[in-house]
Structure formats: C-alpha cells, structure tokens
Amino acid sequence: MSTIDVHNPYDQKVIKSLTINSSSDVEAAMSRAHKLVSNRDNWLPAHQRVEIFERVIEIMSEQIEELTQLAASEGGKPYMDSKVEVLRAINGVKLAIEHIPQIKGEQIAMGHTASSANRIAYTQREPIGVVCSVSAFNHPLNLIVHQTIPALAVGCPVLIKPAALTPLSCFRFVEILQQAGLPEGWCTALLTSREDSEKMVCDERVNFFSFIGSAKVGWMLQSKLSAGTRSALEHGGAAPVIVDQSMMQDESDADDMLESLAKGGFYHAGQVCVSVQRVYVQESVARDFAQRLAEKASKLIVGDQLNPKTEVGPLITPKEVDRVATWVEEAKQSGGEILSGGERISDTCYAPTVILDPAEDAKVSQFEVFGPVVCVYSYSDKADAIARANGLPLAFQASVFTKLLDDALDTSNRLNATAVMINDHTAFRVDWMPFGGRDASGIGMGGIPYSMHEMTREKMLVIKSKVL
C-alpha cells in the first residue's frame, strides 16, 4: 500500500501521511457515481441539496480557524489570505444555494406553422451526469469548492482528485459534506497515481471533466477524453497590465495603483493563475514606476505563512524556488535590471522581485512565472504595448490603468483576455463572476453559477394535444 507525505511548504515538516487510493478504489467510486445518475429514482431533489448546503455552511462557519490553519499549513498561503479563502469557500456554497432555483428552461414557441399546430414545447435542464474534477495546489479549499459544489448543486455526483501536495483541505471538505448529510457516493475524494488519474478522467462513464492545472497536462487529458465528455480546463496565464502615464500624474492615484499591483503580483508569492506578471508602462514614467513598485516589494514581510504578519509565504516546493531563481538569473543575464529581490531568502522562500525591461525572449517574458516576480516593460507607442501584451498564446485576465475613459475602453477592447480590469489588478475575482482562460489558457468558464450551467444539459419536451 503506497503512501504520500504532505509537507508544510515553509519548514518542510511532514503534516500528515496519506494512503494513495488503489485502482479498485477508483473503480468502486466510479461505479457508485454512475449508478446514482443512471437511475432517476436515486437523484437528490433540489430541496434536499439546499438543506445539505445550509448545514455545510453552518459547519464551516464553526470551523473557520481550523480550516484556515489547515489550508495555510499545507498550501503556504499566508494566514491572512488563507482566512479570506475560507470565507470565500463558505460564500461559494451560499452562491450555489441562491442559484439552484435558476436551474430552469424556457418555453419554445409552437403553432407558427401548420406543422407545429396543437403543440406546446418547453425545455428543462438536467444534471449532465458523473463529474470528474482534478484540482491544483494553490487554493486548496476554495478550488475544491468550485469543482464539487456546482456539480452537487445541479444534482451530479462528483469524483475529486486534489493536488498531491495539498490534499488535506479537500478531504476535510468531503468529510464536512458527509457530516452535513450528503449520501454516500455523491462526492468522493481520491488521491491516485498518475496512471489511475488518467484512467479515471478518460473513463467512458464520465460526463464532465473539470481541470485546474498546467496546460501541458490539461490539454493532454482533454485529447484523451471519451466521446461526448464535456470539459472545462483552467490553465495559467502571464497576466499583462497596460499603464498610461496619466496614472503617474497624481501622487495619490499612483500610490493606489502601485499598492494594487504589488498585491496582485505578490499575493500567495505569485502562485496565482492571474497574478500580475507583465506590466507595460509609458517610457517617460517607466523607471519611476518600476522603482516605486520595487520599493513596495522590498517592504513586504516574507516568511512563515502561519505568522499573522506574513504577507508573502513560501513557494510550494524548494524545487520551485530553484526554478524561479534560474529564470530571474536568465532575465538578468539578458539585460533585465533587478530593482528588488532577485535572491533566495531560504530554501523555500524567494524575495519579491521587480525586473525592469527583461528581454522579450526571456522565460519571465514568455511563460507563466508562478512565483513572486513582476516584470516592467517601457513603451513609447501604446499599440506596440498592446501587441506585446497579446503576443503570447496565454490569454486570461488583464488590466488597464488610465485616467482617460476613451483610452480605457479602447485598450480593453484590443486586449486578448477573458476579463479586463480597469484601474484594478489582474488577480481580482469574486466567486459569482465568470472566470477562465482562452486560447492556451483553457476552455469553458468557472464561477459558481457558470459552472452550474456547464454541468447541466438541456432536454426539450413537446406535447401534442387537440385542445391546444
């Protein structure tokens, strides 16, 4: 029987050892889930789903501190931000309750031709079937909520595979669901080998595949799905920001902008799929902007994520620190100017780093850093800056900072992104908004109500009667 150790990312101490599920465990879970959806008599009525979710909210609300400590311990996100994650997770369940009554169809007009006379038609939405979810490490509780609660809300059983680095919050959440009265088989957490994970995802009994993780793995699994399996894939980005010089004319506006971008770039040590990464600033103010951003970065408190004062925690593994250090060194060697950071603080922490004008072909310019690194690029022509911002196959969220309304509208229209924030950082998100990437960054949209819609399918009923 194989086991896996879950480590605290900061001090690398083992938090807990877990048993890896066997192939037979996966088959048993899949078989139970398939049997639940195959017979309509097994389906959970809407009122029962609501009642279960209400109890989930009660239980989670009583355990906010415990859930915060657990998520922070395994994920490395600072305590203050992990508590926000827990509160968002609770709100996600509330959102599902609010949107369950919105699972509805519409009337389809009949009688407009002779052939359609004496008929009435309407659509209704039904659960799509078995949902299989594969999650990522960076939000160990809230991502699990987003990949299980929408499925359960619409009446789909779900098999969830958490990230091997951060599975504890997932298992705890499934325990809470069961404690709240969710019947056996409706939500099963499985810690599986790579081979069993792929077999589970590609099983012909899976109707919907939800994935959060790397593009390489996501697109590979997408290519192997069984015929008819629908999917939503959320990969990373390299979020661009376009800054107009008008934002640097007023000291208060400039400081607010820099605070926002520092938060968006260094939150969770940059381990966020929409983290601020590439900031394009008009050349007359680019150096001043970059130096001021670097000053803010250098003042951030880095260290143990369980210390309430910590603002930037560790990277998820020491290997990731090595990778980020290599990328930053490459950027420096290719002409980028390191204005802050650029060094390891320990085996597990990397200093918040600001790089001015790294080469366009450097890794920090071409790929998602997923570390505490923000790059600032000067531009003379905004059209060129937009072209550079759009120059990667990644396209997720973006930002525009400007005092000019026409500039905000024009620039946001020209950016290739699924969402553009005006005068706010790229990592802004609330859980009821659509959220997802396009192009290499993924397909489908997340967000509680949007995932609920994705996890249903439409059926039309046509009734013929002489009295109509």
pLDDT per position as a tens digit, 174-183: 999 999 999 9
Predicted confidence (pLDDT) per residue in 85-135, tens digit: 999 999 999 999 999 999 999 999 999 999 999 999 999 999 999 999 999
Predicted confidence (pLDDT) per residue in 293-334, tens digit: 999 999 999 999 999 999 999 999 999 999 999 999 999 999
CA–CA dist 333, 314 (Å, integer): 25
**Residue 67 and residue 84 in contact, taking contact as beta carbons nearer than 8 Å:** no
Print burial letters for 308-333: b (CB count within 10 Å at least 16), e (below 16): eebbbbbbbbbebbebbbebbebbbe
pLDDT of the residue at 308:
96
Beta-strand relationship, 276-282 and 373-379: parallel
Query: Cβ neighbours of residue 283 under 8 Å, at least 6 residues apart?
Result: 378, 379, 380
pLDDT of the residue at 319:
98
Task: Say what the pTM is.
Answer: 0.94
Q: Which domains does the chain have, with CATH numbers?
A: 3-235+441-463 (3.40.605.10), 239-422 (3.40.309.10)
Answer yes or no: is pLDDT of 353 > 90: yes
* Residue 221 confidence class, pLDDT cut points 50, 70, 90: very high
Give the type of residue at 298.
S
Could you give the C-alpha distances from 346 to 33, 204, 265, 341, 390, in angstroms and in order?
Answer: 45, 46, 20, 13, 35
**Residue 424 and residue 242 in contact, taking contact as beta carbons nearer than 8 Å:** no
Print burial letters for 54-76: b (CB count within 10 Å at least 16), e (below 16): ebbbeebeebeeebbbbbbbbbb
pLDDT of the residue at 400:
98
Q: What is the rounded average pLDDT of the residues 53-70? A: 98
**Residue 305 and residue 140 in contact, taking contact as beta carbons nearer than 8 Å:** no
Query: Cβ neighbours of residue 230 under 8 Å, at least 6 residues apart?
Result: 128, 207, 208, 209, 454
* Residue 77 confidence class, pLDDT cut points 50, 70, 90: very high
Q: Facing residues of 378 across strands?
A: 281
Answer yes or no: is pLDDT of 436 > 80: yes
Distance of CA 413 to the CA centre of its chain: 24
**Residue 242 and residue 415 in contact, taking contact as beta carbons nearer than 8 Å:** yes
Task: Please provide the DSSP assignment of 205-266 as one string.
Answer: TEEEEEEES-HHHHHHHHHTPPTT-EEEEE----EEEEE-GGGGSSHHHHHHHHHHHHHHHH
DSSP 8-class letter at 92: H
pLDDT of the residue at 347:
97
Give the type of residue at 54.
E
**Which two tokens mark 137?**
């490490």
CA–CA dist 386, 30 (Å, integer): 47
* Residue 394 confidence class, pLDDT cut points 50, 70, 90: very high
* Residue 464 confidence class, pLDDT cut points 50, 70, 90: very high
In percent, how much of the chain has pLDDT > 90? 99
In percent, how much of the chain has pLDDT > 70? 100
Q: Facing residues of 233 across strands?
A: 211, 443
Answer yes or no: is pLDDT of 1 > 90: no
Q: What is the rounded average pLDDT of the residues 229-250? A: 94
Query: Among 132, 156, 170, 273, which one carries the catalytic annotation?
Result: 273
**Residue 317 and residue 76 in contact, taking contact as beta carbons nearer than 8 Å:** no
* Residue 396 confidence class, pLDDT cut points 50, 70, 90: very high
Average pLDDT, the chain: 96
User: Residue 468, SS3?
Assistant: coil
- Angle ∠(335,248,352) on CA atoms, nearest 5: 45
| Alpha-helical regions (H) of 362-467 | 363-366, 382-389, 405-414, 448-454
pLDDT of the residue at 451:
97
DSSP 8-class letter at 117: T
Answer yes or no: is pLDDT of 395 > 90: yes
pLDDT of the residue at 190:
97
Helix, strand, coil % over all residues of the chain, rounded to 5: 45, 20, 35
Answer yes or no: is pLDDT of 49 > 90: yes
Query: Among 85, 132, 170, 234, which one carries the catalytic annotation?
Result: 234
Q: What is the rounded average pLDDT of the residues 362-378? A: 97
Longest dimension (CA), the chain: 81
Q: What is the rounded average pLDDT of the residues 51-62? A: 98
pLDDT of the residue at 130:
98
DSSP 8-class letter at 359: -
Could you give the C-alpha distances from 205 to 136, 183, 232, in angstroms and in order?
Answer: 23, 20, 17
In terms of phi and psi (left: phi > 0; alpha: psi -120 to 50; beta: otherwise), the region of 214 is beta
Give the type of residue at 28.
A
**Which two tokens mark 162?**
């958490």
Closest residue by Cα to residue 150 from 162, 158, 140: 158
CA–CA dist 468, 449 (Å, integer): 36
E-only strand ranges, 1-152: 3-7, 14-19, 107-108, 119-127, 130-134
**Residue 316 and residue 271 in contact, taking contact as beta carbons nearer than 8 Å:** yes
Would residue 273 show up in a list of annotated catalytic residues for this protein? yes
Closest residue by Cα to residue 418 from 401, 432, 398: 398
Q: What is the rounded average pLDDT of the residues 277-302? A: 97
